[in-house]
Amino acid sequence: MNPSFGENPFGAIGALCSRINRSGPLFKTGIVASGYAAGAALAALAVLAAHLLAGPDSVDDCGGAVIMGYALLFCGVFTVSTIPSACGGFYFLRGTRGFWNLFTPAALIFGASGLLALALIVFATYSVEGEMSFLRILLAPVASLGFFLGGVFAPTKRHRLALFGATALEVAAFGGWLGWCFMMSPGFDGT
């Protein structure tokens, strides 16, 4: 059965999306927050499954390395599972100019801090600043994904270009760190 002109061609799903789009900000915030809560629950389940598969002795044997691995697993699963929530949040905020006017310069400053962290890692290797910069570099993939999604949903060309520029800064910082790690690895000089 073909829908006649003026009817919603997507049926019940289209009607639901249309109703959500007309809803108030509290309802929209609840939808996005519930997506993030579901992402956190899924990430916690992934860490629990990894711990059960590895066995309880793995933490005793390796300690901090296993805990760091669990933390990275949680962050990775949380990041990927909350992409729809981030898209929904950016979609709902596309008409709010104040948000984009604050988010865009903050993203550029944060992206530039990734390059600063890379410089500290490369040139201040054995200092506290150089060691702590590693944690900033670990945020680069997550931040680049967030800035890219923000750029996709940004309302104006100026905001889109700035957010894609912040994405490029994060990719450059993480790519530079990977390249530096490769160059510092044993056997890079051909021996």
Contact 109, 102 (CB under 8 A): no
- 3-state class of 10 per DSSP? coil
Rounded Cα–Cα distance for residues 52 and 64 (Å): 17
What pLDDT, on the 0 to 100 scale, is given for residue 174? 94
pLDDT mean values, one per 10 residues, the chain (191 residues): 48 67 83 93 94 76 78 93 92 90 96 92 77 86 94 94 96 93 72 52
Rounded Cα–Cα distance for residues 42 and 168 (Å): 29
Considering the entire predicted model, what is its pTM?
0.80
User: Per-residue pLDDT tens for 28-67?
Assistant: 889 899 999 999 999 999 999 988 888 767 666 676 778 8
- 3-state class of 187 per DSSP? coil
